[in-house]
Amino acid sequence: MLLSFLQSDLRKLGHNSRRRSLSSRSGIDFSSNDYLGLAQSPRIANAIKKALDDGVPAGSGGSRLLRGNHPQHEALEAQAAAFFGTERALFFSTGFAANMALLATLPQRGDLVIYDSLIHASAHEGMKLGRAQFKSFPHDNASAVEDTIIAWRKAGGTGCPWIVVESLYSMDGDVAPLSELVEIANRTDAMIIIDEAHATGVFGESGKGLGEHLHNAENIISLHTCGKALGCEGALVCGPKVACDFLINRGRGFIFSTAPSPLMANAVRESLNILADDPSLRSALHSNINFAEQVLAPFGVKPTGTQILPLVVGQDDLAMDLSQKLSDRGFDIRAIRPPTVPEGTARLRISLTLNASQNDIRHLADALEACI
């Protein structure tokens, strides 16, 4: 069998309780990233319907540098730059594509990328494709960042340091020390890339993210995914105009990709309008966060102050078993296993969204008591 080595690897994954498979969504939503419940927003649906009636096409028909550039893309980028308070914004089809393009394109040969050890997989893929040297630092350890840059300079490093972090980490639910990291970047003449994927829409004024007061600095590039709290698809790279222009000219992931759907660009525009118009959505989510931390903490759920609450189980098979037991009781909570999380920290990732009420959270606590 030509592909027997693939089957062998899959069997090994299954033996270790790490084989993945696709499953239909069912049960109360405690697993999605649709934090504000906007994926089924009537306002966004109506915006798409109107755009269709106005002749906006479903497909772009080509890359942005060919015929794929549509007025909806440009309108979204102008609106996003104004919303997040940056000089320029650039729309990508996914957050993975945006992260990969950023790290593969902007840091140059002779530069050093210093990244948090728990950074997204997409950033790792971008660094592998890029020209710069890269080195991790212990999670959330800002002093290690400065020490690494100083040691690199003493060893003869002359390029630009790039600090790469997430503002809110997707599996632990904790928040990066952004202000401290930006101070280090300013002292060391470094650039900093802040991935706001899980903070956009949830934190900051009008949902601008945890780094909202930092975004307009010339040494900061922020990434805001549209497929989580914004309820749509795609991602927005926001920052200095020169960085976005460089991505347009040198970013292979941008240049050689078919442009995102103009309809989706229109949908994201409406999502940004909702963030600005309706602060009650964020207030309701934060109320759910406070309630969940109180009722779930007795069962080992770690309070984080954010919408992501991990229940670390340890062993892969135990996490899978607990996830299945909760599924049988009508709750959709997925088990997260290595390599997504470190060895020995398999967990249930409890994601709080407006798709689940406080009454649902109370019932989840009852289910956890029964299962644990």
The 10s digit of each residue's pLDDT in 30-52 is: 999 999 999 999 999 999 999 99
Active-site option among 34, 77, 166, 212: 166
Active-site option among 31, 33, 41, 167: 33
| pLDDT at 179 exceeding the cut of 80 | yes
**Band of residue 205 on the pLDDT scale cut at 50, 70, 90:** confident
Active-site option among 120, 208, 215, 224: 120
Query: What's the pLDDT score for residue 5?
Result: 84
CATH 3.40.50.300 fits 23-40+279-371, yes or no: no
Query: What's the pLDDT score for residue 109?
Result: 97
Residue 329 contacts residue 366 (beta carbons within 8 Å): no
Active site residue 224: no
Nearest of 354, 356, 341 to residue 284 by alpha carbon: 354
Active-site option among 31, 99, 170, 271: 170
Active-site option among 29, 77, 146, 195: 195
Query: What's the pLDDT score for residue 1?
Result: 67
Query: What's the pLDDT score for residue 18?
Result: 83
The widest CA-to-CA distance across the chain, in whole angstroms, is 62
Active site residue 222: no
Query: What's the pLDDT score for residue 326?
Result: 97
Ramachandran quadrant class, 110 (left: phi over 0; alpha: psi -120 to 50; beta: rest): left
| pLDDT at 14 exceeding the cut of 90 | no
| pLDDT at 16 exceeding the cut of 90 | no
Active site residue 166: yes
Active-site option among 70, 198, 215, 224: 198
CATH code of 56-277, in short, is 3.40.640.10
Tokens matching residue 81: 């730059």
Residues 276-279: contacts with CB under 8 Å, at least 24 apart: 276/83, 276/206, 279/206
Active site residue 205: no
Within the chain, which residue ranges are assigned CATH 3.40.640.10?
56-277
User: Rounded to 10 degrees, what is the CA torsion of 162, 164, 167, 168?
Assistant: -170
Active site residue 120: yes
**Is pTM beyond 0.85 here?**
yes
Strand partners, 33: none
Within the chain, which residue ranges are assigned CATH 3.90.1150.10?
23-40+279-371
**Band of residue 4 on the pLDDT scale cut at 50, 70, 90:** confident
Mean pLDDT value across residues 310-335: 95
Active-site option among 208, 212, 228, 266: 228
| pLDDT at 215 exceeding the cut of 80 | no
| pLDDT at 17 exceeding the cut of 90 | no
Query: What's the pLDDT score for residue 372?
Result: 84
- The tens digit of pLDDT for each residue in 71-124 reads 999 999 999 999 999 999 999 999 999 999 999 999 999 999 999 999 999 999
